[in-house]
Amino acid sequence: MRRRILLVEPDFRSKFPPLGMMKLSTYHKLLGDQVVFIRGLSSEMRSKKWDRVYISTLFTFHWKKTEETIRYYLSAVEARKNVIVGGVLATLFADELEESFGIRVVRGLLNAKGDLDRNSLIVDEMIPDYSILKEVDYEYANTDSYLCHSTRGCPNSCHFCAVNRIEPCFSHYKCLTRQVRSIEELYGTKRKLLLLDNNILASRSFAKIVGEIVELGFYRNATLNGRLRFVDFNQGVDMRLLDEPKMKLIAKTAIKPLRIAFDHISLKNMYIDKVKLASENGILNLSNYVLYNFKDTPKDFYERLRINVYLNNQVGTKIFSFPMRYIPLDAKERGYISKHWSWQLLRGIQCILLATKGKVGPKTDFFHAAFGNTYDDFIRICMMPENYIIYRRHHENNGAMDWNNTYKKLSQNQKRWLFEATALRKFSKDDLRKTSSIKLQRLLSHYIETDRATTSKSIDV
């Protein structure tokens, strides 16, 4: 009997197409079921009756939106067990979701026969259904990409990463040729190859995977209809496993960019060596993920960003950095502050990144303008009221100049007081009255005024 299947992605901001939903769509269409894909809350879809409603989840700090979405669609099925929730958040909070809603939760991957129904189909091996992306009024990035895995899982167990709980078994090889050719046959040729592997360098079959990439047309300087083709190991490569033979293999591909995580300053020398090795092999376009608010200090964070500027000048690379704020795996919101950080510093970085669209560019002038010439400059910028950071040019002669001039006159003890006072909260007029220092009162007044001006467009940090 033909079943009615509703696939729901909560309407959080999503950069990548929902690969899990795309594979579920293919699975159910192979069984002859009717499939509808939507984003967010739809009263029209909730008013209908569905045999199953699947809801995807992403980061744990999307808890409220996820909970809201689940609750909204409970009435769209005859029994709550016909609401099926999967993904990162669902795996990490599986017991709580089951107890709270009586729904079915998929832990990890649907990578075995019979996971959903009594048949031999394996959902995770389905070719993703690109056609469902046209059913929603939302523009995903990377739709002109083959979305593939050449491996699954990761042999590491990093404390800040959920991969070992979602994909606990490391699979060294998944046939890329089958995936790419099947997508091509159904949905046409794609210009990019996006590999979502969590630790591709850990694979015993890495050389074989690179051979497939090259044979599929993603070799160095490859073009399609006059435009360059690109391959992207999107989750980044583990630089501890990146030796010269592997770098030479990567250099055979149309890699752009090469992503290398730079999670801690203790890896400084290794990171510099790997970037230089990439440059020597003709790989100049790089990107790195810079974890912060974990075990690092603000000085560690600034230094890691500064090193990229140094490398760009020294070896000719173009490194774009993407700072990634650490949030514990059991956190249901974004508010976590590690012991070396403060609310104001984290908010300051968020404001800088809002102005730079989340990335740190390769040019020295850009870096100095955004993050300062020195570590002390960086702290000063982060301590500024948010409007002065985001709209720096607009305010440089309108408020920000007075704030900066006053800040520079503070003693070290006063700067320390300001740092501690902004650690967990905003300022109020009561703080002004309790502060005896004229200079500190003058600084605090800027926070109160700019907070009032930005009430309607606050930043989630």
Chain segment 11-30, per-residue pLDDT in tens: 999 889 999 999 999 999 99
In 391-435, alpha helices (H): 392-395, 400-408, 412-421, 429-434
Quote the pTM value.
Answer: 0.91
Predicted pLDDT at 418: 83
Predicted pLDDT at 450: 57
- The stretch 161-180 carries a mean pLDDT of 95
DSSP lists the bridge partners of residue 104 as: 84
Q: Is 326 helix (H, G, I), strand (E, B) or coil?
A: coil
Closest CA to 96 of 124, 57, 123: 57
Helix (H, G, I), strand (E, B) or coil at 259: strand
> What's at 28, amino acid-wise?
H
Instruction: Report pLDDT digits (tens) over 48-98.
Output: 999 999 999 999 999 999 999 999 999 999 999 999 999 999 999 999 999
Task: Give the pLDDT score at 427.
Answer: 67
* Residue whose structure tokens are 């669209």: 357
pLDDT tens-digit readout, 291-318 = 999 999 999 999 999 999 999 999 999 9
Better-scored residue on pLDDT, 272 or 390: 272
**Which tokens in the block code for residue 141?**
């990035």
Q: Nearest Cα to 179, choosing from 200, 201, 209?
A: 209
Determine the straight-line distance between the first and last CA of the chain, rounded to whole angstroms.
Answer: 48
Distances (CA, A) of 432 to 86, 403, 414: 49, 15, 14
Residue 460 pLDDT level (bands cut at 50, 70, 90)? very low
pLDDT tens-digit series, residues 388-427:
888 877 777 677 888 899 999 999 998 888 887 777 666 6
Domains of the chain are: 4-125 (3.40.50), 136-342+356-373 (3.30.750.210), 384-457 (no CATH)
Does pLDDT of 183 surpass 80?
yes
Q: Looking at 109-118, 215-224, 388-397, 411-420, which range is the least confident one?
A: 388-397
